[in-house]
Amino acid sequence: MTKKPANVATVQVLAFASQLLPAIIGVGSFMLLVRVVAAEALGQYLMYMAAVVLFEMIKSGGLQSALVMRLAGVGKQQQLQILGSAYFLGAIFSVGVSLILFPLYLSGLFASQPGIMVFCGWYAVLGLITLPLHIAEAKAVAGQDLKFLLFLRLSQSANSILIACYAVWRGGNLKEFATIHLLFTLLLTIVVIAIGKTNPLHFKYRVIKEIKGILKLVRYTLATLAATNLLKSADTFLIGSMLGPRAVAAYAIPLKLTELFEIPLRSLSTTAFPQMAAANNDKNISGFKQSFVQYLSWAYLLYLPALLIAFIFAPFIVTIFGGQQYAYTAPVFRVFCLYGLLLPADRMTGLGLDALQKPDKNLAKVVIMAIVNIAADFFALQFSGRLEWVAFASVLNAATGAMVGYWFLQKTNVLLPNKIPHECVIYSTTLMKKVVQRFLPKAA
């Protein structure tokens, strides 16, 4: 079923575009939103979206990864069985979550936390609506239908534009924003089904064999994704519960900027992961090591100058992004720049462990990171109440991820972590010399 793009360059351009363009739309929408919505309402909405993203990733992340692995290179009949089995598993999870959340909404248990309260009611419906979108996305990745993937991600990001425009027009509150989000998602799901990119009726083709096969693949991936997203949302939930929605809104400004740090890494992962996995499958240790060093070096060649500029001009960047009322969050963003410095090492070790087919080690790494992050967040909020120290918890988290990841890789006898920095320096120096010679030839 694989539909290959014309060449590697096309893959890279489309893959990068599917990450960059939605991020640009999201940043632009957020810049508009923070200027027209009161901090209290903005903080509530951000808590709602943090909960939505966490549950969506738990529901779809492991399922999508399993689908990509199962769908590649199989016949049409088996595709139907795999898709039907995925719908079956996804429906069980979605219905189960809805049956728990809706009674919680009716009970008013979270009345003091409007973001969580509205999430319980609205996600009981939203969780069912999004299942076809996740399966369509996984099918597109497996079949390398990158044009549809770009369309889907751009369409999903358009949701934030609609909410921002509504906020400019009417102001709005949490329930109105959540309703717009739900209705737009419903419309997108209908469109995706109508153009034939997925079909919930494939549910009838489910078979026990494929259900068991998907569950086996999901086991570690799902837990890893859940822990990873807990890392991302823990700050928001803890700040909201201990400092209130206004602090959530303030923290969201530098945090949203930090999300831009991840775009180059996601794009590099598109080619780094399959190359390292292929080298491991071929038992080519030197090839694995070469790919690891190469992509880690590329990441730092991109990150070091960008982070230095961001650190120096942090007040200017934060003011442009969030407005003058959030200029005081510049120190928080500077702390996040330190986090960005450790991010490539953390992410590349995770990719390396997955490529070596050690998902249990990657899960252990992420769980340790989650424990460190949540504990550091709690102590920062309890004893200082300052957002800079909450951000520093992310620095500790990334440092932990890098060190634990390197330690696990060392146990595989594939990489020697103490030599990696030296090899990255040699590779980077050689690469920069080649670039200089290519674009700045010696004078005659």
Confidence tier at 307 by pLDDT (50, 70, 90): very high
Checking if the pLDDT of 230 tops 60, the result is: yes
Confidence tier at 257 by pLDDT (50, 70, 90): confident
More confident residue, 75 or 48: 48
Average pLDDT, the chain: 83
Please work out, in degrees rounded to the nearest 5, the angle formed at the alpha carbon of residue 430 by the alpha carbons of 424 and 435.
120
pTM here?
0.67
pLDDT value at position 128?
A: 92
- Pairwise CA distance, residues 29 & 78, whole Å: 41
pLDDT value at position 400?
A: 93
Question: Is residue 34 within 8 Å of 322, Cβ to Cβ?
Answer: yes
Checking if the pLDDT of 20 tops 70, the result is: yes
- Mean per-residue pLDDT, 179-198: 94
Checking if the pLDDT of 444 tops 50, the result is: no
Token pair, residue 111, equals: 């009345």
More confident residue, 417 or 351: 351
More confident residue, 100 or 139: 100
- What does each C-alpha distance from 436 to 294, 427, 432, 433 come to in angstroms? 18, 14, 6, 5
Checking if the pLDDT of 44 tops 60, the result is: yes
- Tens-place pLDDT, residues 148-168: 888 898 888 888 889 999 988
Sequence-ordered list of residues with C-beta below 8 angstroms from that of 223, at least 6 positions apart, any chain: 62, 363
pLDDT value at position 312?
A: 93
Checking if the pLDDT of 4 tops 50, the result is: no
Sequence spans of domains, the chain = 1-246, 261-436
Confidence tier at 61 by pLDDT (50, 70, 90): low
pLDDT value at position 2?
A: 43
- DSSP symbol at 173: -
